Amino acid sequence: MGLYGVMRTGVSGMSAQSNKLSTVADNIANVNTTGYKRASTEFSSLILRSGSGSYNSGGVDTQVRYAITDAGPLQYTTSATDLAVQGNGFFIVSSPQGTPYLTRAGSFVPDGEGNLVNAAGYYLMGYNLANGAPSVVANGVAGLEVVNIAQTALQGNPSTLATLVNANLDSNAPISAGPPNFTSKTSLITYDNIGNKVTLDIYMYKTAANTWDIEVYNNADSTAGGFPYSSAPLANDTFTFDVSATGKGALDAASPTSLAMTIPGGSAFTLDLSVMTQVATDFEFKANVDGNAPSSIDSVEVSSDGTMYAIYGDGTRKATYRIPLATVASPDNLSPEVGNVYSVSTNSGNMQVDFAGSSGLGTVKSEALEQSNVDLANELTSMIESQRGYTANSKVFQTGADLLDVLVNLKR
């Protein structure tokens, strides 16, 4: 090979340093890019077979590596749709053409149609919870759709059930003479078939020891918020309590445990009173009532397990999507694509999908963005190293060329 080999080796070194400088330039350019993963150039030697009395110079080969598994620091924001992965995993996004990719860049904002899209134009994918809990496809994206936060307004749903959280009637309360002289009173807000509020007034009368009558009226039929009512009670019954050492103030076995009625303008409604007690403490009545009024979406929330909730104007929270995470066997061997996304390659292994917090995946952090994992000081140092290496290799080339000139000029 001789002098020509020396020159080719110098060219190989310059090309390698040029590749390294290119990755440094990319890293510095993307130092503030959300979710960007640092690229680096690794060198390996190319050795040519040499004889015992001569040496054939080889060259250097380069391979670009991506530090995809190195997490960047989190920067906190005020947007609920800014998402970051804490731990392993990637968000699944889709290009406008429908091609799925993986990314750690979670700066999502709604577009004109309410679809969540990041700065590179990729749409966030999730499972729609409209039909209940999703069925996850572990090795694919079947069932995923673009996450949309501008769904139609919450439809009005009629109330059908009220369940007591805690309720007690004071065992020391005096016996009442009956309406309108009640012992205790509370009210519940329910909803009719088209979402109008219907307030139910609930009166409790102690008619004898351990015996109570409970009546439910429509507040709209009241005069000045109470008795007299223009209509009969919607429901009424007598409840008895077991104050023995066994019963301890719970409803007697022979007592009814609920009241059934029809909400005016609404549906059949059950007031479940099975956990009601009569013990020697103050009156208490807390209940959960289903149904809701129509309302528009006011904001969204995303929990650590990837569940997205729509917060409606009336305060109702409704789970709308579940955002999964994906991973591969070798994340550092994913293929980088335009827009800070990655595609699956032969070396990376197949995509595996599951929910945050499961199968070794991390959690989802709302109101946060993962920053670039580029260390600017290291990149500037690498840039100087590349510059010096390139210069040194150019000197080798120049020296080889000068010696070749000497060889050619020997004939003169």
Residue spans of the chain under pLDDT 50: none
Of the options 2.60.98.20, 1.20.810.10, 2.40.160.20, 2.40.10.220, the CATH number for the domain spanning 161-289: 2.60.98.20
Cα-based distances in Å from 67 to 48, 124, 196, 301, 369: 31, 23, 57, 31, 18
User: Coil, strand or helix: which one is 122?
Assistant: coil
The domain locations on the chain are 2-70+373-411, 74-150+320-370, 161-289
Stated pTM of the model: 0.69
Residue 189 has phi, psi (to 5 degrees) of -95, 125
What is the pLDDT, as a whole number, of residue 154?
A: 66
- Give residue 2's pLDDT: 67
Residues in the chain: 412
pLDDT at 223: 84
CA angle 90, 106, 366 (to 5 degrees): 100
DSSP 8-state assignment for residue 234: S
Q: Report which of 340, 305, 307, 321 is spatially closest to residue 87, judged by C-alpha positions.
A: 305
* DSSP per residue, 53-71: T-----EEEEEEEE-TTSP
DSSP-derived secondary structure for 282-317: --EEEEEE--B--B-EEEEEE-TTSEEEEEETTS-E
The predicted pLDDT at position 1 comes to 54
Position 293 scores a pLDDT of: 84
Per-residue pLDDT, 17: 87
Strand 161-170 relative to strand 277-279: parallel, antiparallel, unpaired?
Answer: parallel
Indicate the angle between helix axes 376-408 and 2-29, nearest 10 degrees: 160
pLDDT of the residue at 52:
66
Q: Are 234 and 225 in contact (CB under 8 A)?
A: no
List phi, psi (to 5°) of 377: -65, -45
